[in-house]
Amino acid sequence: MNRSLRAITVAALWSLIATPAFPAIAAPSFDCEAAKEEVEKSICRSEKLSVLDQQIADAYKAALGRLAGDPTALAALRDGQRAFVALRDKGLNTNPNDVAEFMETHRNFLRSIMPRARDGLLGIWETVGGVVIVRRGKRGRFEVDAETFGDPLWGNRYCRGGGDNFIMKGRTLASSNGHSDWNQKLSRSGHLLVLQEIAPKARKGGEQVREPDYCGANGSLTGTFFPVRGPKPSYGDSILVDP
């Protein structure tokens, strides 16, 4: 065997037995060979996380297309995606076993965002780590269930609010808990549902306004939510009923 043929044969054998940096699994949305961050390497080493990463990238791109023409909704979606990535990376660095389910939930949320805003306020609305469901109630009132997690991976800053005493005032739904208690107001902004919390009026003597009793430490229901299709929300711990 001449030298050139021997060199080709040896090179071919090494190509068969050499171990690549990452196994030949489904590729995520980025180049694993160029991965430098540990969170990226964790995704590359996992078939499931790699598939989910690509599915999320595809679903996010599709959602941006569906929201085209609504700059406010596009900005909110981009902010939400950045929040998701930050939470995902935090989870991969500290508790990677919980990240796959979180990624599946976010993928489902992105896929379910509706291409056109529905009329009015009824239905299921979601954001990263939160859901609002608005239904018609009795005697002209409306029922609202709202649930948010400031950190969905660990359930921190949890809130559960709403009630069956919401009244339509023009194009706004507002709870009627009285001035001495916390209230919520729901309105529309393009595709989005906007939820605002209204703090109680300060009592005589300048008593400091307390935090909502329906939230954990530093929790809040305030935020913007996207219209989503489906009989049940993607996000939400105990809100699992049809609108």
How large a percentage of the chain has pLDDT more than 90?
56
pLDDT band at 238 (very low <50, low <70, confident <90, very high): low
Distance CA 48, CA 70 (A): 33
DSSP label at 190? T
Answer whether residue 241 shows pLDDT above 70.
no
Q: Under a CB-based contact definition with an 8 Å cutoff, are residues 76 and 98 in contact? A: no
Residue range 116-140: mean pLDDT, rounded: 91
Residue range 35-64: mean pLDDT, rounded: 93
What's residue 61's pLDDT?
A: 97
Domain map (residue ranges) of the chain: 25-112, 123-227
pLDDT band at 205 (very low <50, low <70, confident <90, very high): low
pTM: 0.83
Average model confidence (pLDDT) across the chain: 84
DSSP strand pairing (172-175 vs 142-151): unpaired
Q: Per mean pLDDT, which range of 81-85, 142-146, 152-156, 212-216 is the poorest? A: 152-156
Distance CA 237, CA 74 (A): 26
How large a percentage of the chain has pLDDT more than 70?
83
